[in-house]
Amino acid sequence: MKNAVFALLFSLFTLGIFAQDTIEVKTLNFSDITKRRGWYVFPKDTNRYEKILMYYTLKCDAATTQDQYACGEWDYTTYTNLYQHNNVGAPRYLVDGNYPDTINYVTNPTYTYFQNQQYFIVYDNTTSETDYSIGSGSTALTNTFNSGLANSKAQYLWTAAELSGSGISAGTIDKIKLDFSSLGSDLNYLTVRMKHTALSSLHDTLYETSGFTEVYHLNTQIPSTGINTLNLTTPFVWDGTSNLIVEFSFSNANPGTGHTLVGETTSFNSAVYATQDDGKLDFVWGDYVEVPASAFAAIDSFITVSFWCYGDTGKLPESTYIFEGRDANGNRVINSHLPWSNSEVYWDAGNSGTASYDRINQPANTMDFEGQWNHWAFTKDVSTGEMKIYLNGSLWLSGTGKTRTMSGITSFKIAGQANSYGKYDGAIHDFRIWNVALDSNTIQDWMYKDVTASHPNYANLQAYYKFDDMTGYTATDASASNADANLMGLPSWNYIKGWDQYRNMTVAMERPNISFTQGIYTTHLDSIMVLDSVMNAPKSIIQYSTSIDTNNSGITMAVIDTTYGWESGWVYTYDQYGNKVDSTYINYDNQLVNQYNQTTFQLQNYVTPYGIGLSLGPDGFRWVYDVTDYAPLFHDTVELSAGNQQELIDLRFIMIKGTPPRDVIKIESIWLGDYQHSDIANDFVMPAVNVDLDPTAASFRIKTRTSGHWFGGFQNCAEFCPKYHNVFVDGVKRFEWLNWKECADNPVIAQGGTWIYDRAGWCPGAFTDTYDHELTPYVTPGTTVSLDYGMEFTAGGMEGNYRTTMQLVTYTPNNFNLDARIDEIISPTDWEYHSKINPICTDPQIVIQNTGTTTLTSLTITYNVLGGTQETYNWTGSLAFMEREMVTLPIPGPSFWTTASQQNIFEVSISAPNGGMDEYAYNNNASSAFEKPDVYSGLFSLRIQTNNAGTENSYTIKDDQGNIVMQRATMANNTLYYDTLNLPDGCYVFELLDSDDDGMSFFANNDGNGTIRFWPTPLTWVKNFNAQFGKFLRYHFIIDNTVGIDSYDKMQEIEVFPNPSKGSFTINVTGFDNEQVTLAIYNTLGENFYSEQVQSVNGLINKRIDLSAIPNGIYYVRVFAKNNYAVQRIVKH
């Protein structure tokens, strides 16, 4: 059996009707402006509850901090969660940003192996060969093959004149010969690249970086001093007219000893070469660098953050944090997303101690953030209000009016979120932080070289991480701050390969003596396999203590220790194409177990209303949800969270002591998370899971709650496309439902967005639908059941995200054989949730529920207004255990609502289920407060001005017997309908329908705006209806011709002078009791321009009001209290 349990199937009963005690637990309240999570004390677990209701109240208020609206602008998904903390006090271990159940590792390094095929040329026959030498100097050159470094690069230029002068002709250059005077370490991956160039000299920032032809790439050992030949695997074709660049580079695992070549000096800058190794840190998601707060002590009004980065092409764009800093309150101070998942780059800087910050952002090209080294610099100058972003030395984006300061940074991460873990995939090096906004010239001058004391702003350098350490777990700060940073995760140290080096280049007027060889050969290629071992990055394992501090949300943790190790498991050998060709299993020698764990139970999923122009009333708007299934969780000290600061929230729990239909033994969270449509449909996520069933249990229920989000692509999935979801039990589809929710009947009308559109399981301003599936018929206690959540598979698209929870509830045997209860009073009630159908003067409606094992077939229902005549209705039907039905209770007529009591209280009780004795009487009675409908006397008119879509509208007026006394089945566009009604005494219901579910006013179409008004005669006041009503508008009213303006118990007289007036009026009123009355000013359209509560003293009211600010025209002064009022026409001119 499946029941769709919508959010509000539970009555706001008057608590005094229960013979049992009722406990109210208050948690979040309207004074918690930004707090949305905390610890709260519930009763001990010795209590038993018939029902537990969650009262969830939201209020629009200017005190909210998320945007400029009293209610948040957008429809945000929020969760009401309960957090269960298990094994508090046990240590907790963090690795890669996660807390896995077990962590297996080894203390010795592990390696990944890569096979590289290196090719070399073999000369089978030489027909002819000639060497052409350039240079005959005796200068010792140590930078061509400086294997004293691990990686190096040198680039040399020969002019076309020099080449031609040596005798070289256009054609292939087949070999290069160099003269070595001393030998050093082997040159692994020795690479020679050649290129024609238009350059006539080289500069440390102006040399060739692309367009080369690789002519040699081979691990090379120079055998002896003297002339050594490099046989070019791919001969270079010289065009005979261009200058020539020859570049030598290599990449060794570690520094060694260098080679010395014999060379010459030149009259121009003919050489550029690297003089030092350049390191980097490679990050994967979860890795980061923790920078101490001391680095930001002098940061306030000026800042520059600059670095080089190389984003991973296989991962970006994604929602990265390349750096972020926060203050002691957890508020962002500085941050950059480079990029976010939308490929935009963001620069956030300055919060002036608040939760808001200044921002500039714009889309970036893919090459700007991935696949190559790029230099980024982010600056802010509070004194000018300027924020800027520089890309590779050029201004990329700027913003003005940004004056929030940046002091107070207490946590800062490179490649990570300051209050979380690493969130970047790629490499970073040369990370600098300054307390000055550098200009573009300075950035350009220093981006390609290390900072030294000669930098014009050296005194402003607050932290400088070259990432050249190459070993250990600390990044050295090269500034005067000595703010060394800790590596966590861990990112891996690596050199920038020789051929990729581009910084700290030195220009020189020198070249090696060289011979270029041209010949005619018969050749073939051969190869050798080179196996490289790359040490895997170690992992940092942080050990925390765990405890509960009710002043702080979540578990309180403190760092005890950090351990470093390498993951155990498989290590692989890859061929040159990236394929796994071999593997070795590494057994762990250390294991850590995370005994502490947190289980999150989602009580509800609520989507906030569109807040622009919205009011939820002075006391807020309340939703109610039955959380009795979560009863085992509500005891002692409990941690809860709800809302998201878009509105003020009041969250409380009404715990009604007594006996439930069946006691909850336990509730388990099976699935909780966000899942892609295609992944659900293909069973990649939420697959079949085996669950052990309690052998002492008697029944079981599955609870599912799913809201679909995002739209576009195929069928606007997931938000705006209805799809079937299902649960398979032991491989058999037992439950299926259409996850779709009607939104145009939402009582939270006139929202500032597309609230009327139906959605996948949710609506703005409503709880997500919960579906209860009775599992009992398909399982046996004490066995294991397979549960598999799935959904409809569609041929196209399957986009969209589904926020899903699936829970299993375990129960005792039923407590009653024969029992029924009143589950809700739909009408009459003054509960705002039912405001679209209340107040009423027709038949009441309630919801009954069978809470006994025996099928409920009959029930006696008695009901009355407090102090009035009691009516009886004998219900018949068929309800299985826990099934509900809405029941309409007939009344004899409007006299049912007329009593001597001044209290508008509706009472209802049930008895004699199936003609027998109800086994539990405490749930048989309910009552609700209500308001009476408006009363009219004499003639009145209904005035409807249709909009551009009047054909969508129709209306009826029915009496209390359902007879139509007035209707318009069709209406025309842009037409004023003026219907005068002269009805006999009685109760009537006006209902206006819109076939397109968008009311007579909705911003997201071209229908325009209509109006709906009740216009009494004589004109004492005007009833204006909100045209943004969505699907329907329903209004009960009473005609009572025995009570008119001239026939009240005492006469009220009103005098206004001067009248007419230019705006200043004196109002004298007599005839009211000593009471609070309302004085209001309306125009002829019924629009209110003034309202004030005034105290009548000795039956007199004297009030002077100033209406000079309102337009000239005819107005009505209305003074009223209870059923007495007085009206006077005034003129402002």
Distance (Å, rounded) from C-alpha 404 to C-alpha 423? Answer: 26
Q: What is the pLDDT of residues 172-230, one digit of tens each?
A: 999 999 999 999 999 999 999 999 999 999 998 889 989 999 999 999 999 999 999 99
CB within 8 A of 420, min separation 6: which ones?
97
Q: What is the pLDDT of residues 701-742, one digit of tens each?
A: 999 999 999 877 777 788 998 999 999 999 999 999 999 999
What pLDDT score does 570 carry? 95
| Pairing mode of beta strands 934-936, 1032-1039 | parallel
What pLDDT score does 942 carry? 93
pLDDT class of 3 with cuts at 50, 70, 90: very low
pLDDT class of 798 with cuts at 50, 70, 90: confident
What pLDDT score does 159 carry? 97
Distance (Å, rounded) from C-alpha 943 to C-alpha 968? Answer: 12
Within the chain, all domains assigned CATH 2.60.40.1930 are found at 1053-1132
pLDDT class of 97 with cuts at 50, 70, 90: confident
Distance (Å, rounded) from C-alpha 968 to C-alpha 953? Answer: 9
1124 pLDDT more than 70: no
The model's pTM is 0.74
User: What CATH number does domain 117-276+505-530 carry, 2.60.98, 1.10.530, 2.60.120, 1.10.10?
Assistant: 2.60.120
Q: Which CATH architecture has domain 934-1039?
A: Sandwich (2.60)
User: What CATH number does domain 1053-1132 carry, 3.30.930.10, 2.30.22.10, 3.30.2130.10, 2.60.40.1930?
Assistant: 2.60.40.1930
What pLDDT score does 1125 carry? 67
What pLDDT score does 1074 carry? 78
Distance (Å, rounded) from C-alpha 529 to C-alpha 114? Answer: 10
Q: What is the pLDDT of residues 825-855, one digit of tens each?
A: 999 999 999 999 999 999 999 999 999 999 9
pLDDT class of 20 with cuts at 50, 70, 90: low
Q: What is the pLDDT of residues 421-469, one digit of tens each?
A: 899 999 999 999 999 999 999 999 999 999 999 999 999 999 999 999 9
- According to the CATH classification, is domain 279-494 in 3.40.640.10? no
Least confident of 655-669, 991-1005, 1053-1067: 1053-1067
342 pLDDT more than 90: yes
What pLDDT score does 1087 carry? 75
795 pLDDT more than 70: no
Across 68-77, average pLDDT: 93
pLDDT class of 150 with cuts at 50, 70, 90: very high
Distance (Å, rounded) from C-alpha 620 to C-alpha 391? Answer: 49
% residues pLDDT > 70 (the chain): 96
Nearest to 325 by CA among 231, 440, 416: 416
- According to the CATH classification, is domain 2-86+599-811 in 2.60.120.230? yes
What pLDDT score does 751 carry? 95
pLDDT class of 1052 with cuts at 50, 70, 90: low
Distance (Å, rounded) from C-alpha 700 to C-alpha 774? Answer: 6
- What residue type is 718 in one-letter code? A
Distance (Å, rounded) from C-alpha 249 to C-alpha 340? Answer: 36
What pLDDT score does 622 carry? 97
Within the chain, all domains assigned CATH 2.60.60 are found at 934-1039
**Residue-by-residue DSSP string for 784-826:** EEEEEEEE---SS----EEEEEEEEEEE-S-S-SS-EEEEEEE
Distance (Å, rounded) from C-alpha 739 to C-alpha 717? Answer: 12
621 pLDDT more than 60: yes
Fold of domain 820-929:
Immunoglobulin-like (2.60.40)
pLDDT class of 9 with cuts at 50, 70, 90: very low
Q: What is the pLDDT of residues 306-331, one digit of tens each?
A: 999 999 999 999 999 999 999 999 99
**Residue-by-residue DSSP string for 156-216:** EEE-HHHHHHTT--SEEEEEEEEEEEE--S-EEEEEEEEEEE--SS-BTTBS--S--EEEE
Q: Which two tokens stand for residue 588?
A: 């762990």
Across 589-611, average pLDDT: 96
8 pLDDT more than 70: no
pLDDT class of 900 with cuts at 50, 70, 90: low
The span from the first CA to the last CA of the chain, in angstroms, equals 70
What pLDDT score does 1090 carry? 86
Say which DSSP state 756 is in. T
Across 801-810, average pLDDT: 97
Nearest to 983 by CA among 1046, 933, 1038, 1043: 1038
State the chain's mean pLDDT as an integer: 92
19 pLDDT more than 60: no
